[in-house]
A and B are shown apart, each in its own frame.
Chain A
């Protein structure tokens, strides 16, 4: 499919730090992941097996040509996918929160959107915001959080995806947890 080719090219350009390629890839993945999530909601509303990881993998199989599975492209793909999924979840959460202000009926409709636990909307949005600040100084560490929190990757998967050692992933995650926890509990203005 042309799309697969296009995406391969975009992934390659991404490796060359082509910002436009990143943006375009992000847009494609955003729509694709949403579409998959939406379809799955239709098919599987009953079994509740909607998981971010599965969605991302489905998108991967669909969009990445199977004869091009270079480690490089793989990791770029999942890294963008994590950002896209993050955006989707944040958008859903925002919409739901907007819906709450709009009254009960809308709310019921929004509750049907596939996020597992709507009670966590506030948490999700707060984490997203704090993560934005965190990433200003800690890009790699925030990527670790993104892969972990937004698409549910295990430490091993993250290590493979970002080409890091497992212990680095663990250390990065510990630091991120401390930083974000401090940020969210609000007892400390972030100095850096």
Chain B
């Protein structure tokens, strides 16, 4: 630091401190006196003094401010001077939801105008704060050009909750339409925009609940902005119930409220559809459908009971042209449409399509309205495009599916919206069931609910499964789905066909939970729960309907599913027993001659899994190769049977080639390499001819390459190195071609990585570590350069880990092990760069960190990177995963923080289950850290 600068800085502070304490009028002369000729000093202090005047509460609130306690409600709302960081300028409105102020955030650099809405009364319910904060956060996440942003919120000095929102300067939509004299088409276009905003919110699980012209302002640029999304719920929670005194007293206007809101029934997205329908009615006709009902009580009665007139009819009544009718005092709600069009012509334009669109949106029963806001908007678009509007109600799924394909990113949210719709239906059906005469109707509810539920889980599942990222949303979908299934199974415990659907839904959920991409330990256990629920239901069904083959078949699959989970958990014996149970049930189906093609397939799968589990060395197995052979023979018998039934079906041939491979796998363990090569060769021949016969079928190409690689492996073991190498190269060429053809897909890259690794293995076994090293390193680099550069978020890192470990293994045996270490170290660095900023699962972070800590040669290790990664992993898993803590401990240790290592390792051990096999290994490491610590802490207390 320059000493003159430092001197100047010190001087500057001293002068400032002397001057700032003076009364304002004395400051200037004193400043001039102190600065003398030093003009720079004068200017600096002057600007500081000016800045100081603007500071007010700048820096006064800590970054994490202490919470202000909720106080007793004040009887009357006094206008506060400020709220949090905002200075109140004036009151701009008042309504049932409280008072609205214009305010400004007056830190100079964050100057912006906001609207602050304060609730009419305080709530001291203990759980309320939590809900307020949660809702506020959800609302704050709504970012849409046509939705006024929610910035902030809190509790005022008087204990009143408030929300800080984007300030919108605009006109209510109905007034705007009239003033601008918008044409019918312009109005509809504007309405579609409004719909898109509502739809967006629904996808984020937010229902507006209070859609009305006063909440839809149009900016001078003609852009609609929706205000107060979900605010009714946040600010009104626990204070204002619809249909109560608040409404009758006029605090809350019910004009746009749906019948279910008036009746104090659950509010769903369907309520917003209704309010939008009334809004559309108003925009098209200039009138509210129940305008003539002048008192709130009469109005509410009309909303409950009266069918509105067709818009095309109402515009023709002379009353509308002359009288500014209405019970309300807002000028926006009065008078005519503002159309330049003649009423007669307008009537003709509205007649038909628009009449039915509006009336469908405002049906009394939520389920008879448009299912979603986008369905409403879509119909208007169709009308505008002069295409027939979708009258039939069943087009929802068709549209939703298309929607999923168009909007991958938000589809999980869509599914949640579908589920929230389900919720409405369930509750509606429950209350409906109470009334005897409505039984039939309730049954109808159930039917639609079932269709919706099964469509959601069955048709949308595959789309959701392919979604990148969005773990949170997926979990939300699953949790919500489980809740509804629970409800549904309680509701319909006496209806076998519904219970059957519920069982299959549980199976789907279990499938999602145990899917390899989300297969965390917790999720796998949850999957087991789902499968057990499935099994429990099916067992009950089977007991009451012992001859129903469909139930037996499904029960069989429940055993298979549970067996799969056990296999995933490494419980081989339990898994095997379950497969046996499943197989027995399928055989029972077979004896009942129920749908032979389905039963055959199920049996085929069961035999295959039994063979795998009994003795296939590629799986966790019980070591019984002979038993495995028996199962595989049964499997092959079915495969041939299927092929004979459909000789021209290429898939049947393909399945047989898989059977051959399985047999070959078995022989691998026997050491009969010749038999292995022969069996792989037969699989290869089948695949080769399939690939030739169907040159456009990418899957057959891929399968051929896989067979080539496996054959090559076996050939290498037989010493047929020349042939082995040729087959490897053929396999590689196929995968490389696939990568060329489809640059977006990762699967070809993964396949190529796997071939390179296998090829490396053969060279390593052949005593050529250098060649092997090159191949392993190539496969690891392929991973970092081709996989980690893709946008996909769910990546299986195990091939990379495997390549790196193997490269290390080959590296230490190779002639130039130090350059091998350098290569691996470089790959680590590249890896570290590529994963920075990526959303990674704790498990993946942990695996990488562990490899960085333990790989060989030891000079290739990256303990510093490993520490950072393992800490990330630990944080993401909330420090509750023993394996991750084990890594963290080792990382601390390798970074010379032995004390931390000891501590974390202790935590890791504490987290292990009682009977864990890892206990010994963990404890050994702890002992190692402890002894290092003892060495490090000599008696004189000095640290190294």
Contacts and interface: CB of A to CB of B under 8 A. Distances in A.
23 contacts: A2-B899, A3-B903, A9-B941, A28-B897, A31-B871, A38-B875, A42-B878, A51-B67, A52-B62, A104-B410, A105-B409, A138-B13, A141-B13, A152-B63, A175-B13, A176-B59, A178-B51, A178-B55, A180-B59, A181-B108, A187-B47, A188-B47, A192-B8
Nearest to A6: B899
B17 interface: yes
A177 B61 CA distance: 12
Contacts of B67: 48-49, 51
A174 to B, nearest CB: 6
Contact of A151 (B40, B62, B410, B839): B62
7 shortest A-B CB distances, which residue pairs? A152-B62, A137-B9, A182-B51, A178-B52, A181-B51, A185-B108, A178-B48
Contacts of B631: none
B65 interface: yes
B9 A138 contact: yes
B892 to A, nearest CB: 9
A124 interface: yes
A2 B903 CA distance: 10
B108 A105 contact: no
A3 B900 contact: yes
Interface size class of A (residues with CB under 8 A): 35 or more
Interface string A1-12: 111011001000
B54 interface: yes
A109 interface: yes
A150 interface: yes
Contacts of B933: 2
A76 interface: no
B65 A38 contact: no
B141 interface: yes
A174 B472 contact: no
A38 to B, nearest CB: 5
A152 B472 contact: no
Interface in B19-78: 20, 40, 44, 47-52, 54-55, 58-59, 62-67
Interface string A25-67: 0001001001100110010001111111100000000000000
B137 A111 contact: yes
A136 B469 CA distance: 43
A31 B867 CA distance: 11
A122 B937 CA distance: 45
Contacts of B8: 191-192
A175 B410 CA distance: 49
A101 to B, nearest CB: 10
B572 to A, nearest CB: 35
Interface string B830-843: 00000001010000
A124 B137 contact: no
A160 interface: no
Nearest to A182: B51
Nearest to A178: B52
A189 B919 CA distance: 61
A127 interface: yes
B332 interface: no
Contact of B902 (A2, A123, A138, A175): A2
Given A48-B133, A106-B839, A185-B108, A89 B55 contact: no
A37 B698 CA distance: 51
Q: Is the interface of B mostly helix, strand, loop or mixed?
A: helix
A192 B55 contact: no
A122 B410 CA distance: 27
Contact of B16 (A47, A108, A175): A175
A51 B933 CA distance: 34
A177 B137 contact: no
A164 interface: no
A174 B58 CA distance: 11
Contacts of A177: 52, 55, 58-59
A68 to B, nearest CB: 13
Nearest to A13: B943
A93 to B, nearest CB: 9
Interface in A157-190: 171, 173-182, 184-188
B879 A38 contact: yes
Contacts of A124: 63
Nearest to A89: B63
B12 A181 contact: no
A9 B943 CA distance: 8
B648 interface: no
A151 to B, nearest CB: 7
A181 B58 contact: yes
B767 to A, nearest CB: 46
A38 B52 CA distance: 37
B109 A184 contact: yes
Given A3-B900, A104-B141, A119 B151 contact: yes
Contacts of A48: 67, 129-130, 133
Contacts of A102: 839
Interface in B105-163: 107-110, 129-130, 133, 137, 140-141, 143, 151-152
A185 B59 contact: no
A192 B44 contact: yes
Nearest to B85: A120
A176 B940 CA distance: 45
A111 B139 CA distance: 12
A117 interface: yes
Contacts of A115: 63-64
B473 interface: yes
Given A127-B59, A185-B109, A104 B143 contact: yes
Given A185-B108, A192-B12, A174 B20 contact: yes
A152 B5 contact: no
Contact of B899 (A3, A148, A186): A3
Given A47-B130, A105-B472, A149-B59, 8 more contacts: A1-B899, A31-B871, A105-B473, A109-B472, A118-B140, A124-B63, A152-B64, A181-B108
Contacts of A116: 64-65
B435 interface: no
Which of B17, B63, B839 has the most chain A CB within a 10 Å cutoff?
B63
Among A141, A145, A182, residue most surrounded by chain B Cβ atoms (within 10 Å): A182
Given A175-B16, A192-B8, A89 B875 contact: no
Given A6-B899, A137-B6, A111 B141 contact: yes
